[in-house]
Structure 1
């Protein structure tokens, strides 16, 4: 029961607060007058959208594509781009190798753009969620309408300021609060449905299809609003690694799905006797005979629920950033671990303040959840579309489905995804361009960084020498072996990286106990078993090469890894060793050269990013009095 309760707080905040604004947005798009047939048609669309997208696509199918328990678009990207098949053999025809390379690039680009879109979504979710909750004040007290925006801004500021404290304390409250929220909206919805049991007719899928056919173009426009009911579906997959697949599915089918269907059904029931659309159909669930106190209680509960939804989205972006940094898809930024016991609790100051500034600007500019709904959904619908394509690659590459079966199945998913994507495209002029612009900017950064680091790695690899060549140079030039333990931190997984040659040239000797250490972040798995973490190779009379492997969800603990290597017989003393690392400066080459596909105009951009990024050496927590950096200029 505890994992299920945790899933309620971590996973379902976004989709659980959609009833605050989704029905209102759909009916506003349809017109301010409502009829029973229109209400039942909209309700049927909502019901079957939730069932098909969340229950069937994500809970039944997509959540099976876990990367050692981890989910989300980046984890799925790492899973499918790390797959290997017969096209990888060296003697394969050239056209097959080119096709394989092109597919790899397309899949990687799709994953990177999908991850970038989630950054754009993190700006909109807090705005629309908190604003929709605050708008309940106008139902309880119409004269309080001018307090809605200031109250929303104040809550958002407190939300982002509190991020540095982490979620270890308030996280324990997330599950119980969301349980009360779902029980409340489900109970109010059930009570409202008893007044008009005919809303059960919306369970007939033919009613949704008939509504689409009868309304033609207008019904297509409505799909953009209907999509708001499933905007948190991607969180089910992305947060699966934190709570587990079974608790997520259990919480969805037992608590969340019934509560959402009852809540939307209750809103439809309350609108059956209405001729015009009320200010907020959600708060119409509360009978007017109950007075204003229950409304204020629901406003307070909705505020807590939207804070939880916003918190989950923001912390999800922090976790996504850590993954992207460790696999080389995003420039290094300062990370803070807010818990000594949970490595997944991350705080990223730079992103926190950037998201806060953008969120406050959007909230002030749009001013209401109804206006903000025009910008919401574009990023999520695109991410869902990309997830379906990547899931198809997973079925073909990892599950070995035939190509025709994969195409048929993914084609069924894409019918729904493309319909919602096309409907959300109509929102671009109303603000839908905002998350796309944010995503495109971040995708450009991620793409340039990924290809730039590959170019840098190629340059470093070309500068390596073999252990035999190093031994010959030591003898030929009579280079002395100096006492002491020195660990050379390498950027490439080669026994003799360039930093060894730099040290020999600058200091005129090589330590008696020289250890080259390579840190490899695996892109295809989130965690590495302790027995597989360390690989040692000894080159007699030269040096010892140690490779430490980490998964993309792990925090590197270098001193612990060295201690384990020492216990295994490696000639290294973590408490006494001196650590040497490269401090590179990227400059423009006199003669442009192509490294890893980095274009001419991208090189100065990468140089700027590299100069201002926090490098991997900073996250290893090495003793500053035993860390020496050797400067080097690299021309790209």
Structure 2
């Protein structure tokens, strides 16, 4: 729970820094009076209750894929139950679109969170305004540099800080609630209804800013693999939710008594002497807010690779206890670059708030649609209960989605543009992989029959050849190309498959599995755990083969390298997508580096594949 508090709740926990302020001073400003203040607070209370507590903590977190959460985990759960190709394609498209929108959130959250905290310096001393951007940039760069140490260590470091932060939220709120206890009445939805009854248009537009209080809910689900459903759920219900609402109500009580405090109610809640320490504490909390979406981006990327939507990327497992705690360098540095672009481009948290939210609510709406399929087709709830739950989720999500559409001209276009680009990348890779597998499909010949045919038609040469094969039952394409073009076979041939299991460490005594076949062929499988270092030459050394032990200096490793090219006469994929797929394939991590094969022992056999 301490680790979960230190990682998962930073995003939603820092929303009090800007959510209430933007509701009154954002693109659609409103007067600071009793109806508006209590109406907005009631909307915040019930939005957190319905979206975070009911939808995510109680319902969505039950949908885990071997402990993992997020859009891809949900897709993996429901895809096997989809009947018909059309429905399968629709569900896959929804899952990919939700993940693409999530990456837009992962870029905006660090930028707006850190900027909003550092801007508190202007409350302490207006002359410090010129230092805001440099300080925010240094903080963000330092955060991303920490990622390689792993989320477990980062969470243990941040956990106590966030506990102090939430205790401070509650204490500040209680101090002001005591002066105006009427704000406790916002737990009744009648204030939200009264707001809509008196000013329906303004209330609807205000929902776009009120939604800022809910951003981070999707991160709870995406980060579930790091700490587990139970730790996240108990932390939310027992600590985070009560502290958040006490602070929001305290801010409401403050601006009811002093309407001018709406300029920055979070920092103005504190007495003069405590404002600088509060800025420092809030800055630390916003670092955690950034951490939450960064770890969620790592999880989503890892799942995308496993499901075939991204090429293989170098991934480091940072914990022996949880497979979900990972670090992906290319994602880390890509996010840092985009976050710095956002900070330097928008320059103010208020301007970023206009771009923030639309990607989150889009992801939430898609998650609801996928949950509907899960509830009715997989879990098979009673129709009336499933209809009631999904109907409630859809009504809330649609209302916030339509309200957030008004943000598109003011910056909401940015996360949508990012999502469109990522959606193109994910679908292009999946489509390209499918097309390439079709072109490189095995001849249909059984391996024993292939061995009999090849052994009788090819000249045998000295030495050992190792051909890597993804499937333990397939025939490597590199073997087929070598036989076709060189018309030779080595005296000893290993068809090697590397299998990575879901345990931290595989039993070293069972690392190597060898099955001798006819005519000098041997099928070999190397078993690794997700924390094990993959080193093929080391683990093949000393392997007993017909004719003696394997010697690395007499062994050649054959790898296949395919180059996609557009098909003639408009068949197959669009030419621009083929070129994009080829670029992604080239950028994928080299099998030679991943398996630690010496460069002077590798032979790559390339071929062009029309797609």
Q: TM-score with structure 2 length normalisation?
A: 0.89
The alignment status of 1:245 with 2:223, answered yes or no, reads no
**Among 37, 40, 62, which residue is 1:39 paired with?**
37
- Where do residues 387-402 of structure 1 align in structure 2 (5 Å cutoff)? 387-401=367-381
Q: Give the equivalent residue in structure 1 for 2:439.
A: 459
**C-alpha RMSD over aligned residues:** 3.4
User: Which is further off, 557-566 or 584-593?
Assistant: 557-566
Compute the displacement of 1:136 (Å).
Answer: 1.3
Q: Distance in 1 between matches of 2:355 and 2:548?
A: 57
Structure 2 distance, partners of 1:468, 1:502, is: 18
Match of 1:74 in 2: 72
Cα separation, partners in 2 of 1:477 and 1:568, compared to 1, 3 Å: closer
Deviation at 1:625, TM superposition (A): 4.3
Deviates more, 1:351-360 or 1:308-317: 351-360
Change (3 A) 1:468 1:343: closer
Deviates more, 1:334-343 or 1:194-203: 334-343
Kindly report which structure 2 residues correspond to 1:125-524, keeping only aligned pairs within 5 A, or say none. 125-164=109-148, 169-276=153-260, 278-287=262-271, 291=272, 293-335=273-315, 344=324, 346-401=326-381, 406-463=386-443, 465-474=445-454, 476-477=456-457, 479-480=459-460, 482-484=462-464, 486-491=465-470, 494-518=473-497
Partner of 1:606: 581
SS of 2:355's partner is coil
Contact 1:107 1:390 in 2 (8 A): yes
- Tell me, what secondary structure is at the counterpart of 2:257? coil
Q: Equivalent residue for 1:91?
A: none
1:581 shift after superposition: 1.2
- Cα separation, partners in 2 of 1:401 and 1:561, compared to 1, 3 Å: farther
Instruction: After TM superposition, give the deviation of residue 199 of structure 1 in Å.
Output: 0.7
Q: Is the 8 A contact 1:515 1:572 kept in 2?
A: no
**Do the aligned residues in 2 keep the contact of 1:548 with 1:561 (CA within 8 Å)?**
no
Residue 18 (structure 1) aligned with residue 2 (structure 2): no
Aligned residue pairs total 606
Q: CA deviation at 1:451?
A: 0.6
Deviation at 1:381, TM superposition (A): 0.5
Distance change >3 Å, CA 405–CA 521, structure 1 → 2: farther
Match of 1:97 in 2: none
CA distance in 1 between partners of 2:486 and 2:340 (Å): 54
For 1:187 and 1:583, how far apart are their aligned partners in 2? 61
The residue aligned with 1:52 is: 50
Q: Are the aligned partners of 1:220 and 1:423 in contact in 2 as well (CA < 8 Å)? A: yes
Q: How many angstroms apart in 1 are the aligned matches of 2:349 and 2:458?
A: 75
Q: Deviations over 1:540-577 (max 9, x none)?
A: 447344567999xx578554899599999999978746
Task: Give the C-alpha shift of residue 349 in structure 1.
Answer: 4.1
How much does 1:442 deviate?
0.7
Cα deviation for residue 164 of structure 1 reads 4.9
Query: 2: distance between equivalents of 1:403 and 1:578?
Result: 61
- Relative distance call for 1:568 and 1:386 in structure 2 (3 A) is farther
In 2: Cα distance, 1:614 partner to 1:244 partner: 30
Match of 1:5 among 2, 6, 9: 2
Alpha-carbon distance between aligned partners in 2 of 1:150 and 1:360, rounded to the nearest angstrom: 11
- For the residue of structure 1 that corresponds to 2:31, the secondary structure is coil
Q: Secondary structure at the match of 1:328?
A: coil
The residue that corresponds to 2:24 in the other structure is 27
Distance 1:176 1:574 in 2: 53
CA distance in 2, matches of 1:12, 1:164: 20
What's 1:622 paired with? 597
Paired residue secondary structure (1:480): strand
User: Hey, what's the Cα distance between the residues in 2 that align with 1:170 and 1:459?
Assistant: 45
Structure 1 CA distance, aligned partners of 2:540 and 2:191? 65
Shift of 1:338: 6.2
Asked whether the 8 Å contact 1:460–1:497 carries over to 2, the reply is no
Distance 2:450 2:8 in 1: 54
Deviation at 1:216, TM superposition (A): 0.6
1:456 is displaced (CA, Å) by: 1.0
Q: 1:478 to 1:297 in 2, by over 3 A?
A: closer
Residues in 2 aligned to 1:193 and 1:170: alpha-carbon distance in whole angstroms = 34
Residues in 2 aligned to 1:171 and 1:561: alpha-carbon distance in whole angstroms: 36
Question: What aligned pairs does 1:85-96 form with structure 2 within 5 A after superposition?
Answer: 87=83
Bigger Cα displacement from structure 2, 63-72 vs 148-157: 148-157
SS in 2 for 1:71: coil
Give the whole-Å Cα distance in 2 for the aligned partners of 1:431 and 1:54. 25
5+ unaligned residues in a row in structure 1: which ranges?
88-99
* Structure 2 contact 461–489 (Cα < 8 Å) conserved: yes
Tell me the CA shift for residue 601 of structure 1: 3.9
Residue matched to 2:59:
61
CA contact (8 A) 1:556 1:620 kept: no
Aligned with 1:461: secondary structure? coil
CA distance in 2: counterparts of 1:32 and 1:589, whole angstroms: 59
- Aligned twin of 1:96: none
Look up the match of 2:567.
Answer: 589
SS at match of 1:116: helix
Change (3 A) 1:397 1:537: farther
CA 1:404/1:497 → structure 2, altered by over 3 Å: closer, same or farther?
farther
Q: 1:131 to 1:528 in 2, by over 3 A?
A: closer
Tell me by how many angstroms 1:389 deviates.
1.3
1:185/1:260 contact within 8 Å kept: yes
Counterpart contact for 1:488–1:580, Cα < 8 Å:
yes
Partner of 1:92: none
